[in-house]
């Protein structure tokens, strides 16, 4: 069995590996498995894949933050209504 220190070290490695594999998985979905070219051409293709992945992540995060913002606003509205309802009962 592993010691506690070895487990925590492996956990940190696995988090990073999972994140990197996630990125490469997106590359494969976008046709990145078939990168062919030499030198500058290959670098440009990899750069475009990175750019497209980053843009997809940016759009996703923007949507998520908008959803969270909206959910927070709804929560605040409901909270205000509940406070008003309690005041009216008194």
Task: Dump pLDDT digits (tens) for 1-38.
Answer: 889 999 988 888 888 887 777 777 777 777 766 666 77
CA distance 44 to 49: 9
Other CB atoms within 10 Å distance of the CB of residue 36: 7
pLDDT exceeds 80 at position 39: no
pLDDT exceeds 80 at position 88: no
DSSP annotation of 3: -
Distance of CA 64 to the CA centre of its chain: 9
Q: Where are the domains of the chain?
A: 1-34, 36-90
- What pLDDT does 62 receive? 84
CA distance 27 to 33: 7
Kindly report the backbone phi and psi dihedral angles of residue 70, in degrees, each rounded to the nearest multiple of 5, phi listed first: -65, -45
pTM attached to this predicted model: 0.51
């Amino acid at each position: 069995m592993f010691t506690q220190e070895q487990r925590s070290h492996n956990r940190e490695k696995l988090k990073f590996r999972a994140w990197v594999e996630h990125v490469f998985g997106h590359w494969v979905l976008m046709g990145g498995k078939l990168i062919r070219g030499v030198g500058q051409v290959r670098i440009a293709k990899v750069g475009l894949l990175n750019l497209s992945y980053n843009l997809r992540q940016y759009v996703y995060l923007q949507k998520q933050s908008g959803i969270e913002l909206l959910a927070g606003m709804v929560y605040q509205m409901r909270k205000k209504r509940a406070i008003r309802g309690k005041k009216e009962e008194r």
